[in-house]
Structure 1
Amino acid sequence: MAITDMPMLAMLRSRMQWNQARQTVIAENVANADTPGFRPHDLAELRVDQATGSPVSTSPGLALTAAGHMAPIGQAEPGVDPRKVKDFEIRPSGNGVNLEDEMMKAGDIQTDYQLAASLYQHSLTTLKIAIGKS
C-alpha cells in the first residue's frame, strides 16, 4: 500500500474532489441566473466510509453503474439533488436562482477546500518526518 492510499488521505482527497464538483454545480447555477425556468441544483452531502476512506453512495434506490444508463426519474445527474426552491424565491420568469445563497455556498466551499488541502499537506509532512525524510 502506498503512503497516499491511507484512509485519512483518501478521505481528504475525496472531500477536495467533492468540493471541486460542488463548485462546478454552483458556478452553473450562477451562470444560469437569468435563464428563464432554470432551477438551481446542489450536490448531495458527501459521506465517506471511515475504514477505507472511499465515498459512500447516499442515493437511495437506483444508482447509475455505467455512463450509458438513464438516470432515475427526478435525478438529473448522479449525486445531484435539485434544490427545493420556495415559491416566493421564484421570479416571474420561472428562474429560482438566488445569487446571495449561491455566493454563500461558494464561500463555504472555498473554506472547506482550503481546510482539506491544508490537512492533506500537513499529513504528508508528518508522514515524511515519521519516515525520516524531512
Structure 2
Amino acid sequence: MANNGLGLMGALKTRMHWHQARQKLLAENVSNADTPRFKPHDLRAPSPAGNGGVTLAQTSPMHLGLSGQQGGFDSRDAKRFETTPSSNSVNLEDEMMKVAQNQSDYQLAASLYSKSLGLMKIAIGKGR
C-alpha cells in the first residue's frame, strides 16, 4: 500500500497524544514535589513504526561502532542525586523545564497536523 501522507497524520496524532499523557504525568510530578518518598516519573517517547529496517553500515574499521549509544552527555537521562530528608527526589527546576519543552513540542506537532489538514483540503478542492 502506498504511503499517501496519512502515515504522517497518524504519526503526528500519536505524538500529540503522547505529549498530552506526558504533560499530565509531569504535572503530577510537580504537584507531588512535597510528598514524602515520591519519585518522579516520565514517559518514554513512542518509537517510530515502520522504519523500513534501515540501519547504518560500518564501512570502515575506523568508524565508530554501531552499539546504539549516543555520544556526549544527555541531561534528560542523568541520574538524580538530590533527595530531600523525606526521600522525595523531585527537582522542580528539571520538571518545569520538561513541562516547557513538552508544551513547545506539542504545539509544534499540533501546528504540523493543522498545516497537513489544510494541505489535504486544498488537494481535494475544499480549501481556500
TM-score using structure 2 length: 0.71
Secondary structure of the structure 1 residue equivalent to 2:42: strand
Identity %: 54
| CA apart distance, 1:84 | 6.9
| CA apart distance, 1:46 | 1.6
Q: What CA RMSD, in Å, does the superposition of the two structures yield over aligned residues?
A: 1.7
Post-superposition CA distance 1:4-51 (Å, at most 9, x none): x91110000000000000001101101110001101000012212146
Q: How does 1:30-69 map to 2 (within 5 A)?
A: 30-50=30-50
| CA apart distance, 1:123 | 0.3
Consecutive unaligned residues of structure 1, counting only runs of 5 or more, are: 52-82
Partner of 1:103: 96
Partner of 1:86: 80
For 1:90, the aligned partner's letter is T
Secondary structure of the structure 1 residue equivalent to 2:45: coil
Residues 1:36 and 1:92: Cα distance change in structure 2 (over 3 Å): same
Consecutive unaligned residues of structure 2, counting only runs of 5 or more, are: 52-76
CA–CA separation in structure 2 for the residues paired with 1:85 and 1:40: 12
TM-score using structure 1 length: 0.68
- Structure ranking higher in strand proportion: 1
Partner of 2:110: 117
CA contact (8 A) 1:30 1:102 kept: yes
Partner of 1:132: 125
Aligned residues: 98
CA contact (8 A) 1:85 1:96 kept: no
CA–CA separation in structure 2 for the residues paired with 1:107 and 1:22: 12
Partner of 2:69: none
| CA apart distance, 1:86 | 2.7
Q: Identify the structure with bigger relative contact order (alpha carbons < 8 Å, sequence gap 6+).
A: 2
| CA apart distance, 1:125 | 0.4
